[in-house]
Amino acid sequence: MKRIAFVDDDKNVLDGLRRMLRCNRKEWKMNFYLSGDELLSELDDNSFDIIVSDMRMPHMNGGELLSRVKELSPSTLRIVLSGYANEEMILESLHATHQFISKPADSDKITKSINRALHLQESLEESGIKEFVGSIDALPTLPAIYDELMRETCSDDSSLERVGEIIARDVALSANILKIVNSAFFALVRHIESPSQAASILGMDTLKNLALSTSVFSSFKSDQGSIEEIERLNMATQRVGVLCGKLGKESSLSARAIDHGQIAGMMCNLGELIVRVYPSEMAAWSGGQPSLSHVGSYLLGIWAMPFPVVEAVRWHRCPADSQIDELSPLAVLHFAWALLSAHADGEEIDLENDKLDTDYLNTVIGAETLQRWLRVTEEFCDQVDS
């Protein structure tokens, strides 16, 4: 049985949660605490799958509590359930929190958020990998991108459009920014699907504060070979993301699904980036570790990225294993990834590609759309070559 802990200094809130979530008692063992100290006193003796905490509490606020939980139990998923946040508290909690749920929230919203988090947690059975990936709060940005971003945000004639373009060129930076702007703290009606949109929502002042006050935009310090490899990954995933956007427009996908496909393309090499940034940590589980796609999608999932993005990144190399039997961002990403991988290897751009699951694609999109996608990809690769 899964163990869920709720922390709030208001007894009425805890009583309301207890009543609201009674229907989950057969699946969850729930504990309720009036303070972070109460929870921490039992954390050594009781492991929790998920801890849901209010943000504004006396003595120890939610950010401080979840930071301690992160140190003591890194595999525990950490969720903020709060109706209050200022910018200072947002910055304080970003690196301790996986997901945000804004108050007021009904039982359906809370239950779905927790069940989705549990499903993602179960997807990585190797506990060491779960603890390691769960401890990642932000990914470091390459020095050249970081310096360029700082120059642009501090310039007298800085442009949010140019800032968005800079962010889009870095996988880690894009993931970090999208994690922040999609949080409930910003009270957005829908998920923001591109770095440019994110920059416009956050605004220049907030971007500066994030860059200066947190490690979200911290520089990546490594050997030149690793930096060059990450630059290669950035370029490759940027191209996949652009092609996904073009392919999505050549199909019957909704505008939102096209956005999901494009951002999934930008994130498809996230697992490889994690290996490059944390080589010694990942090497500790060589032989029994999950696929890189699995690791990347797990991080996106616990950061509460849109679920179609998580699914597409998880299954883009083997879409038939996903049990998704309809046109989706997954099909778009699989096609773009397979053909651009072939192009990078100097192979022909055709449907005979060994990486391409044409049986799956014929089932979910049909031969006519597949031919249109092939023509779009050929034109795109000609543009890349020129």
pLDDT at 138: 67
pLDDT at 39 over 80: yes
Assign a CATH topology to domain 2-122.
Rossmann fold (3.40.50)
pLDDT at 219: 45
Contact 363, 325 (CB under 8 A): yes
Mean pLDDT confidence for 251-265: 86
Positions of E strands within the chain: 2-7, 28-33, 50-53, 77-82, 99-102
pLDDT at 276: 81
pLDDT at 185: 47
- To the nearest whole number, what is the mean pLDDT of the chain? 80
151: number of Cβ within 10 Å: 11
pLDDT-based confidence at 189, cuts 50/70/90? very low
For the chain, the structural domain boundaries read: 2-122, 143-213, 244-385
pTM of the model: 0.66
Which of 346, 195, 221 lies closest to 277 in space, CA to CA? 221
Distance of alpha carbon 222 from its chain centroid, rounded?
23
Mean pLDDT confidence for 170-195: 62
Structure tokens at 109: 């919203």
CA distance 240 to 330: 13
What pLDDT, in 10s, does the model give residues 104-163? 788 888 998 888 778 766 766 665 677 777 777 667 666 677 678 778 877 788 887 888
Phi, psi (rounded to 5 degrees) for 3: -110, 125
Mean pLDDT confidence for 170-187: 65
CA distance 186 to 165: 22
pLDDT at 29 over 50: yes
What pLDDT, in 10s, does the model give residues 211-238? 544 433 344 555 666 777 777 888 888 8
Which of 312, 306, 299, 307 lies closest to 237 in space, CA to CA? 312
What pLDDT, in 10s, does the model give residues 45-89? 668 999 999 988 888 888 889 889 988 887 788 888 877 655 555
Most confident range (mean pLDDT) of 118-127, 131-140, 252-261, 373-382 is: 373-382
